[in-house]
Amino acid sequence: MTLRISASNRFGLALTAALLAACASTPDGTGATAQTAPEGAFITLPEGRVHAVLRGQGPDLVMIHGANGNARDFSFDLMARLENDFRIIAFDRPGFGFSDSFGGPQSPLEQADILRRAAAEIGVETPIILGHSYGGAVALAWALRAPDTVAGLTLLAPASHPWPGELGLWYRLSASALGQNLVLPLVARLTPRAAIERGLTRVFAPDPVPEGYLDHLSLDLTLRLGQLRLNANQIDALKGHVEAMAAGYPALTMPIEVVHGSADTTVGLEFHAARLAREVESARLTVLDGVGHMPHHARPDAVIDAIQRTYARAQAQR
């Protein structure tokens, strides 16, 4: 299945191709997480707990993962490359990874509020925020909601704007009552690992999937029926949310570095990153030639350079 935000009516974010085309769970369909231990710490809020992987020392760098992923997408490689320069806080978004669901589907603005409150609980005040794909929408929502609490943004293939056309049939179905209660449970129980690997190959294309990535991401943690349902609902509602958010982007003044691959068929460059760079004076776009949807795995040095530029610009602005 090919997924993209484009006029072709096909849509996908981060790991959606693998996760909605194929997922693994326990026989009862719940996707229990007994096999995978948390890498990080739990931050308790009145409504539930947020899980965060914490590494390194230095200025604060918050990381927000994409659709139906978790913080392990960053702990696979990127965090180790940065932990000598930053204190890194990689969150599991509400309802993903080990974080509680906080009542089910939330808008990017509501997710940003939860993560901002969790960050404040551990002393994070004005971080650099990195967001990938759907996580880019959450990072932008954080900046819109509380601009004084954000030093700068580094956005990787962000879903930032409404796109032409509607969701493809599979995504409309997966968010429907039929899809939520019949189709996704069947897919969750019956799909083999090989299909998941093929889905990841399409998400990373034309770049290779790093060896060991799928095992590190953790099937029993990430590919769960409840998480698939939540992810489908969030994707189904995303276009309306970013359409409402986009009007506020030109008022953002913090440094914004955007990195997007020219070969990304998951989130369309022209509909999102390029438009953001045109509309926001403080946004600077770096296009990685021939790179797909996962630049932090395909070109980690370019992503690290963008993070360092964000930090340097934030320091200069202060």
Predicted confidence (pLDDT) at residue 218 exceeds the cutoff of 90: no
In terms of pLDDT, which residue wins out, 21 or 145? Answer: 145
For 226-285, the pLDDT digits (tens) are: 888 898 889 999 999 999 999 999 999 999 999 999 999 999 999 999 999 999 999 999
C-alpha radius of gyration, the chain, whole number: 18
Q: What are phi and psi for residue 61, nearest 5 degrees?
A: -130, 110
pLDDT class for 172, splitting at 50, 70, 90? confident
Please report the pLDDT score of residue 189 as a whole number.
66
Q: Which CATH architecture has domain 16-317?
A: 3-Layer(aba) Sandwich (3.40)
Note the pLDDT of residue 30.
Answer: 33
Residue that has been written with the tokens 């796109």 in this structure = 163
pLDDT at 13: 43
Average pLDDT, the chain: 87
- Find residue 286's DSSP bridge partners: 259
